[in-house]
Structure 1
Amino acid sequence: MPNTRTVQVNDIQMHVRDEGAGVPVLLVHGFPLDHTMWDAQIAALSAVCRVIAPDLRGYGQTDLGAAGDPPKVTMQQYADDLAALLDALGVDEPVVYAGFSMGGYIGWQFVKSHRDRLRALALVDTRAADDTDDARKMRLKMANHVQEWGADKVAEAMIPKLFAESSIEAVHPMVARTREVIGATNPQAIAAAQRGMAERPDSTPDLPGIDVPVMAIVGAEDQLSKPEEVRSVVHAIPNAGMVTIPAAGHMAPVEQPDAVNLVLTEFVKSVGK
């Protein structure tokens, strides 16, 4: 059975899966998902390290807490929650932070505000730039209307952008599972995250100052964080590598788990010595 528990983190009860022993690896899920997107990675990595996979504020079984009216959670607030989670779990050594998509946006703030907690950084299907004007408008439109639309409509709109065409055509089981997770998400949490992402800063100027080992992983068919954009991020960071995962879209960890697991396992082993 998965080792899950709920701990007090700032003003919320945060649900977290905590497996294995050794170098701590913090797996941070994307929008609008929960920690279960990492199930395959947890199973593989927990054999060689301690894996900590929380549900972020408002997602899965974690409270949204006081998010304001209209609701908004900034990337900084998510990052501060994660630092507080490490305190609550008694993690006093630096972690390998692995952030998927929005989890990567949160990671840039974690690097800036909690550098002492960081051993290395894994960027999974994510980007450093802020939103274009059009993307920002689309986020705010969803934030303003998701309550009336419902989370199922969000899932319907997002699925074609999340997976490689081959995964959708083959009826990949994780497509249905991802649709289910999104459809069960609190619309208020969706709105809060969209507003937070819409105002996130451009992290590109910060890239040359990142002084920990970095590994970027991206699906070859990712429409949202395209490989060429990820490559430009990697080139700007002094100690960074990149692996492109064939036959995967934005959801590389669930579409091609074995390939992603191999990269993450080797990366964790290399920085844990």
Structure 2
Amino acid sequence: MPNTQTIPVNDIAMHVRTEGAGIPVLLVHGFPLDHTMWDAQVEVLAEHCRVIAPDLRGYGATELADAGDPPKITMQQYADDLAALLDALGVDEPVVYAGFSMGGYIGWQFVKNHRDKLRALVLVDTRASDDADDARKMRLKMANHVQEWGAEKVAEAMIPKLFAESSLDALHPMVARTREVISATNPLAIAAAQRGMAERPDSTPDLAGINVPTMAIVGAEDQLSQPEEVQRVVNAIPNAGLVVIPAAGHMAPVEQPDAVNLVLTEFVKSLNA
């Protein structure tokens, strides 16, 4: 059975799964998902590491608390929650931060504001730039209407963009499970995250100053964080690496878990070399 607990963090009760021992690896899920997107990674990494996989504020079994009116959670607030979680868990050494999609956006703020807690960085299907005007308008449209639409409509809109075309059979377990998770998400949490992402800063100017070991992973068919864009991020970070995962879209850790697990385990092992 998964080892999960709920811990007071800032003004919320945060739900987190922890497994294994060794180098702490913090797995940060994307929008609008929860920690279970990492299940295949947790099982493998726990053989080598202390894995920490939380539900972000408002997602999964973690409380949203008061997100304001209209609701908004900034990437820095999510990052501050994660730093406080590490303190609450008694993690006294720097972590390998692995952020997927929005988890990567949060990661830029973690690097900037909690560098003392960072040992290495893994960027999974994410990017550094802020939104173009059209994308920002779409985020704000969803934020303004998601309560009337319901999370199920968000799932319907997002699923085709998340997976490689070969994975999109509605009966495929990974697609069905992702649809289920999104559909169960609190619409207020969706709205709050969309507003936070819409105003996130461009982190591209900060890339050259990242001085920890960094690895990027991206699906070859990712429509949202395209491999060419991720390559530009990697080129800007000193000594960063990139692995492109074949037959995967945006949800590479779910679509091709064995390939992603191999990259993650080899990267973590290299930190002890």
Amino acid at match of 1:203: S
CA distance in 2, matches of 1:190, 1:41: 25
Distance 2:14 2:227 in 1: 33
Inter-partner Cα distance in structure 1 for 2:87 and 2:73? 21
CA distance in 2, matches of 1:54, 1:187: 19
Offset of 1:239 from its aligned partner? 1.8
Q: CA deviation at 1:131?
A: 0.1
Partner of 1:214: 214
| Cα drift, residue 65 of structure 1 | 1.2
2:19 aligned partner: 19
Amino acid at match of 1:24: P
Equivalence for 1:96: 96
Q: Which residue of structure 2 lines up, in the alignment, with residue 223 of structure 1?
A: 223
Question: Aligned partners of 1:106 and 1:68: how far apart in 2?
Answer: 19
Aligned residue number for residue 10 of structure 2: 10
Aligned position for 2:265: 265
SS in 1 for 2:106: helix
CA distance in 2, matches of 1:194, 1:3: 30
Q: Does 1:28 align with 2:28?
A: yes
Q: Which sections of structure 2, spanning at least 5 residues, go unmatched? A: none
1:189-204 correspondence runs (5 A): 189-204=189-204
Q: Secondary structure at the match of 1:147?
A: helix
1:51 and 2:56 aligned? no
User: Contact between 2:170 and 2:176, CA under 8 Å: does it hold in 1?
Assistant: no
Does 1:115 pair with 2:129?
A: no
Cα distance in 1 for partners of 2:90, 2:174 equals: 33
Give the letter for the 1:134 counterpart: D
Render the CA deviation track for 1:7-26: whole Å, top value 9, x for unaligned.
00000000000000000000
SS in 1 for 2:65: coil
Q: What is the aligned partner in structure 2 of residue 246 from structure 1?
A: 246
User: How much has 1:169 moved relative to structure 2?
Assistant: 3.8
Q: Which runs of 4+ in 1 moved over 2 A?
A: 169-172
SS in 1 for 2:121: strand
Q: Look up the match of 2:180.
A: 180
The secondary structure found in structure 1 opposite 2:168 is helix
Cα gap change, 1:131 to 1:37, in 2 (>3 Å): same
Aligned to 2:163: 163
User: What is the TM-score normalised by the length of structure 2?
Assistant: 0.99
Q: Give the TM-score, by structure 1 length.
A: 0.99
> Could you tell me which amino acid in structure 1 is paired with residue 50 of structure 2?
R
**Aligned 8 A contact 1:6 1:16 in 2:** yes
Name 1:128's counterpart in structure 2: 128
Match of 1:84 in 2: 84
| Structure 2 Cα separation of the partners of residues 265 and 163 of structure 1 | 23
Q: Trace 1:66-77 onto structure 2 (pairs within 5 A).
A: 66-77=66-77
Q: 1:207-236 deviations in whole A, cap 9, x for unaligned? A: 000000100000000000000000000000
Q: Which amino acid aligns with 2:21?
A: A
Identity of aligned residues (%): 85
